[in-house]
Amino acid sequence: MRKKIIPSSVVTLLVIIFASNMISFGFTQDNWNVKLGMHEGRSGLGTAALNGTIYAIGGATAKGFCSFNEQYNLTTDTWAFKSPMPTARSAFAIASSQNRIYCIGGYCGFGGNQLGATSANEVYDPETDSWETKAPMLMPELNVRANVADGKIFVIGGNNNGTLNQVYDPATDSWTTKAPIPTAVSSYASAVAEDKIFVITNDLTQIYNARNNSWSIGIPAPSPVILANAAATTGNFAPQRIYVFGVDAQLPYWQLSTKGFITQCYDPNTDNWTACSSLQTGRYDVGITVVDDKLYLIGGFNTQFSSTELDPNPTYIFSTLNEQYTPIDYGAVPLTTSMISSENIASNATPTVTFALVGFGLSIFLAAVGTLAYLKKREKIKRRNGHQE
């Protein structure tokens, strides 16, 4: 009896299955791509994503504070104006929750004891393209970030009270306070992983656990940065990480227009940092958001100084730029069932790796079973026709 030979089509199938699984564990470099810019250049704006669409709201322009609300369509790479935010402002907190976008606090330049901060809490509904006023903050704040954890919106620190932890509940339209942050912060970078809020400044990483209302300390970023922003990947398309974009805190101010823009990657599971590709077009105070684990850095401003280091009147340039950042190893994570909320865009990576390995083994197993079934069927047909291999 001759040795059975597996048909070439089956071999090809096995190779494709094996290769596709191996590719899912491959390593890729991070990269930048320029997308269509906004209509209006601004810094200190808020950016948020809902249902695969990005919104760029408010900010500061050469003419002052603005209330622009521009919608970016990723599929068509186009921008469109939407209903403007009622309160023109910059340096405010922004968060997506329950298919709405919350814009909280910020700077509106009115002076007084609160340093020009507002307590406004306005929510945008993309379905109706309309705004609604909600319960104001307990204390007006500016230079703050918003993070969604445990179904609530946390607004931490700020210029007026850098340790205050104000918490908004969208379900009841009410505010409370939680454990204050140990070290006061403002203009910080922050992101969420597994209901933990990571607050990152130039020399400190403070971690808030929303489940037990407690704080802990993580490893600080190796390169201190200022005017930083951060966002986290989910682990669905890229490894779950927090990416921090900022300006080298050690540079003299007159050099910030030409160099010093740093990208750093933080692994919340191992408490380790990695250096990444720097922002291609130097600018700071940008808006940042994530769609399908790709990061979008929008707007911001830059400065131009005269030849002298002591130039007291630099020229401020407000940017319309929209640059897409694809993280390291994007596509290296096989598609799996998400175990996290879409509002908390980072979590423990271990389950994903486990399921990926199981999926890989299952693919090979199913392919082997299919091959055996094919061979048995083929042999049965040949015997019925009076042939023998």
**The pLDDT value given to residue 26:** 47
Question: Distance (Å, rounded) from C-alpha 56 to C-alpha 37?
Answer: 11
Question: Distance (Å, rounded) from C-alpha 38 to C-alpha 58?
Answer: 12
pTM score above 0.75: yes
Strand 121-125 and strand 130-133: pairing?
antiparallel
Residue 205 to residues 167, 246, 348, Cα–Cα distance (Å) = 20, 15, 18
Cβ–Cβ < 8 Å for 69, 119: no
Quick one: tokens of 322?
A: 């929209």
For the chain, what is the total number of helices (H) and then of strands (E)?
Answer: 2, 26
Quick one: tokens of 167?
A: 């918490």
Query: Taking Cα atoms as reference points, which of 165, 144, 22 lies closest to residue 95?
Result: 144
Cβ–Cβ < 8 Å for 335, 24: no
**Residue 3: partners with Cβ closer than 8 Å, 6 or more residues away:** none
The amino acid at residue 36 is L
Cβ–Cβ < 8 Å for 89, 26: no
**CA–centroid distance for 252 within its chain:** 29
**Residue 357: partners with Cβ closer than 8 Å, 6 or more residues away:** none
**Phi, psi for residue 74 in degrees, rounded to 5:** -65, -30
Q: Which residues pair with 177 in a beta bridge?
A: 166
User: What is the four-CA torsion angle of 216, 220, 226, 227, rounded to 10 degrees?
Assistant: -50
**The pLDDT value given to residue 349:** 33
Cβ–Cβ < 8 Å for 58, 73: no
**The pLDDT value given to residue 352:** 35
**The pLDDT value given to residue 59:** 97
Q: Residue 209: left (phi > 0), alpha (psi -120 to 50), or beta?
A: beta
Quickly count: other Cβ atoms within 10 Å of residue 7's Cβ. Answer: 12
**The pLDDT value given to residue 78:** 98
DSSP-derived secondary structure letter, 20: H
**H or E segment to which residue 364 belongs:** helix 350-384
Sign, CA torsion 30/27/224/145: positive
Question: Distance (Å, rounded) from C-alpha 38 to C-alpha 172?
Answer: 35
Task: State the distance between the two ends of the chain, measured CA to CA, in whole angstroms.
Answer: 6
**The pLDDT value given to residue 172:** 98
DSSP-derived secondary structure letter, 27: -
Residuewise pLDDT in 10s, the chain (389 residues): 444 444 544 444 444 444 444 333 445 789 999 999 999 999 999 999 999 999 999 999 999 999 999 999 999 999 999 999 999 999 999 999 999 999 999 999 765 456 789 999 999 999 999 999 999 999 999 999 999 999 999 999 999 999 999 999 999 999 999 999 999 999 999 999 888 999 999 889 999 999 999 999 999 999 998 889 999 999 999 999 999 999 888 877 666 666 788 999 999 999 999 999 998 888 889 999 999 999 999 999 988 776 666 666 778 899 999 999 999 999 986 554 333 333 333 333 333 333 333 344 444 444 444 545 555 555 655 555 554 44
Domains, the chain, in order of start with CATH, read 8-23+351-384 (no CATH), 31-348 (2.120.10.80)
